[in-house]
Amino acid sequence: MGQFKPVGFANNTCLCGNPLPPCFNSAPTSAPAHSPASTTLFDSAPEPAPVSTTLFDLAPAHAPVSTSLNLPVSAPFPDSICGFTELEGLEIHNSPGLHGSIPSCLSEFVNLKFLIIKDTSLSGSIPNLSKNTNLETIILNNNHLSGTIPLSFSTLPLWSLDLSSNYLCGEIPNLANSLGKFDATNFANNTCLCGNPLPPCNNLAPTSAPAPAPQVSAPVP
């Protein structure tokens, strides 16, 4: 039979009995190791945030400075994000099950510096971001967004912008005030965007082949 030493049971909270001290004199076998740190998908927070893979059960009191999410579930964009009014950065990526629209409340996040939402099934229009005067990065590629690019983009101090691979249409706002330089690749693979740096709108053509329109049956006379 093997002989086991106390070291084989060390660093537990309150084991007792041979080869450790008897249980009637129970005491920790050593200073208990720190509990494993709870892992969340948040980069930083002023206080520990609860373990979560979504924003559904997070209270505004736990709002982080920035958050990076990878949501492996099929769910709409959680409205609870609207409580994170001090958020400075939001990144959601590789979440094809995330659907619905981008909440318009993001326009109230005046401290927001970067907004990165890509590789999701989010649809609908891009919200008006005219109040987000600190916003320097907007990455919204590979979603199902439609409509036009908000005119408010022309007033933002953008360093980075990627709206490619959506269903956007219409004229690209004048981005002359942006801090970065953008070319056609930043707007590629949309339905019918036009204007600098794409061809002018008086010669409107799709930036890529648009999705087929649904078939409508003619009424039978």
Asked whether residue 114 carries a pLDDT value surpassing 90, the answer given is yes
Q: What is the mean pLDDT of residues 175-193?
A: 92
Sign of CA dihedral 160, 187, 151, 144: negative
Distance CA 154, CA 178 (A): 7
Give the helix, strand, coil percentages of the chain, each rounded to 5. Answer: 15, 20, 65
- Under CATH, which architecture does the 37-163 domain have? Alpha-Beta Horseshoe (3.80)
pLDDT band at 77 (very low <50, low <70, confident <90, very high): confident
Distance CA 119, CA 98 (A): 9
What residues have CB less than 8 Å from 107, skipping those under 6 apart? Answer: 127, 128, 129, 130, 131, 132
- Map residue 23 onto helix, strand or coil: helix
Q: pTM of whole model > 0.75?
A: no
pLDDT band at 217 (very low <50, low <70, confident <90, very high): very low
CA angle (210 as vertex; 170, 192 as ends), nearest 5: 15
> Tell me, what's the pLDDT at 35?
39
Distance CA 135, CA 153 (A): 10
Long-range contact set of residues 56-59: C-beta below 8 Å, sequence gap at least 24:
56/80, 59/83
pLDDT band at 176 (very low <50, low <70, confident <90, very high): confident
Domain ranges of the chain: 1-35, 37-163
Average pLDDT, the chain: 75
Q: pLDDT tens for residues 81-111?
A: 888 888 889 988 888 988 999 999 999 999 9
